[in-house]
Amino acid sequence: MSQSIPTPDGLPVLGNALAVGRDPFSYIEAATREHGPVFRVSIPGLSFVCYADPELVERALVTERDRYRKDPRELDLLGTLLGDGLLTARGESWERGREQVQPAFYPGRLREYANVMVAETERTVDGWHAGEHVDIHAEARDLTLSIVASTMFGIERVDETAVVARAADAITGRFEPSRIPVDVPLWVPTPANRRFERAVGDLEAVIDRVLERRAGEAGGRSETDDPDLLSTLRSAAEAGALTEQDVRDQLVTMLLAGHETTAIALTYALALLATHPDEQERVLDEVREVDGDLSPDTSLPHTDRVVRETLRLYPPAYMLFRQTTTADTVAGYEVPEGTRIVLPQWGIHRDDRYYDDPLEFRPDRWTAELRAELPDFAYFPFGGGPRQCIGRRFALLELRLALATVLRSVRLEATSSTEFAPTPALTARPEGPVWLRVRR
């Protein structure tokens, strides 16, 4: 007979809701240590089972993925904004969308994007002045938006960056733990729901203007010349492979997902380097050795380790959500059909079974030996399996080139007001501004 899945102690009726709401990051870390590899988190109306073990994560994402699907609650909340974009589509709709989007991320295209990534980062840094305090998260968001606008949409900039930022805030805020004990439907006119609905309308208007802008340029460019994602999707729609709504859904998804998580990762990387000046100095020394322009072929081994370590400590997507489509037996426990499953990058990435001093920022831990010894899913900042993030290589290239470009021009210093505690929403974005001082 299967054992009962262990559940951390909680309160009557509320279960673990208050503990999760106060600090879900610490809660997941502690529960992973005390109850792993499988434990149940009890929250009224939204209980879930956590798979805090790399082999079980691999089971849910790869080896037994037919027993699991994306959590319908997550899809319903995201679907209000993203429609049938890659994050939310299922079945044939997802396969069709991925087939159309995939060419935008082929290696040859990534090489072309590199020049844009460097140029946009240089333009951002040129606007900083010596001694100035900059909110590095706001700067990173504007930067990654401009890179997405140019590489994916073929326009110089998304002028309405504030609108996109508000939309990102609204959608991630729908997943804040404070909303979990009482899950308020969108039709209830709460202030948060009204903000969300306004943000959806504003973002749709941005997409309309992007499409109008490109339609106005049609006479001066061919969609087959240097095609970007927007060109590819429009061609697919003209051929009948996609509907106009499919095109809009993919564009909204790429506009939001294509900048949000990379901006978060870049923010944490720069903040960690500012608070670890010895590591920043090593990146500076490495970048100074580069002769000529930065490119995908530029050797930046320590910068790459900084990126990898940042994504370990602060994975922007800090947990994945699934639901069982049929009963499964994992680690001796029976998990019923319809059970919500959480795959916690945050807990596994900080587990001392896999990493020495796991809470320390130590880029040098990423030796070839460690990478060879780690279980496959002891490190999975981009998910895994067929639904692994399609923009993984794009994001990694953008992070390494942006870091190197920034530190070619300036040093960044922490100040007494520098804080970068994560907010547990849909992403682990910083809770507030991340202030750093610029030195030239």
Cα→Cα distances 297→55, 150, 221, 407, Å = 34, 21, 30, 18
Least confident range of 25-29, 68-72, 134-138, 268-272? 25-29
Q: Residue 335: phi, psi to the nearest 5?
A: -110, 110
Domain 17-439, CATH? 1.10.630.10
Residue type, 199: A
| 3 state SS of 324 | strand
Question: Which secondary-structure segment (H or E) carries 302?
Answer: helix 301-313
Q: Strand 340-343 relative to strand 48-51: parallel, antiparallel, unpaired?
A: parallel
Looking at residue 151, its pLDDT comes to 87
Looking at residue 158, its pLDDT comes to 62
**What are the residue ranges of helices labelled H in 15-158?**
17-22, 24-35, 54-58, 72-82, 91-101, 107-126, 136-153
Angle at 194 between CA 148 and CA 434, to 5 degrees: 50
Q: Strand 48-51 relative to strand 68-70: parallel, antiparallel, unpaired?
A: unpaired
| 3 state SS of 112 | helix
Q: Residue 181: phi, psi to the nearest 5?
A: -60, -35
Contacts of residue 12, Cβ cutoff 8 Å, sequence gap at least 6: none
Averaged over 25-53, what is the pLDDT?
Answer: 85
What gap in Å lies between CA 50 and CA 41, rounded to an integer?
A: 7
What gap in Å lies between CA 162 and CA 168, rounded to an integer?
A: 10
| Confidence class for position 81, pLDDT limits 50, 70, 90 | low
Give the tokens for residue 224.
Answer: 């087959």
Give the tokens for residue 307.
Answer: 């990126």
CA–centroid distance for 3 within its chain: 35
What gap in Å lies between CA 381 and CA 264, rounded to an integer?
A: 12
What gap in Å lies between CA 265 and CA 272, rounded to an integer?
A: 10
* Threshold 0.85, pTM exceeds: yes
Local structure of residue 330 (DSSP, 8 states): E
Dump pLDDT digits (tens) for 140-195.
Answer: 999 998 898 888 887 766 666 677 777 777 776 666 655 444 456 666 777 767 77
Cis peptide before 315 (omega within 30 of 0): no
Dump pLDDT digits (tens) for 41-54.
Answer: 887 767 899 999 99
Write 368-375 long-range contacts (CB < 8 A, 24+). 375/54, 375/55, 375/58
Domain residue extents for the chain: 17-439
Contacts of residue 351, Cβ cutoff 8 Å, sequence gap at least 6: 32, 33, 36, 52, 358, 378
Closest CA to 400 of 143, 104, 117: 117
Residue with tokens 């079974």: 353
| Confidence class for position 15, pLDDT limits 50, 70, 90 | low
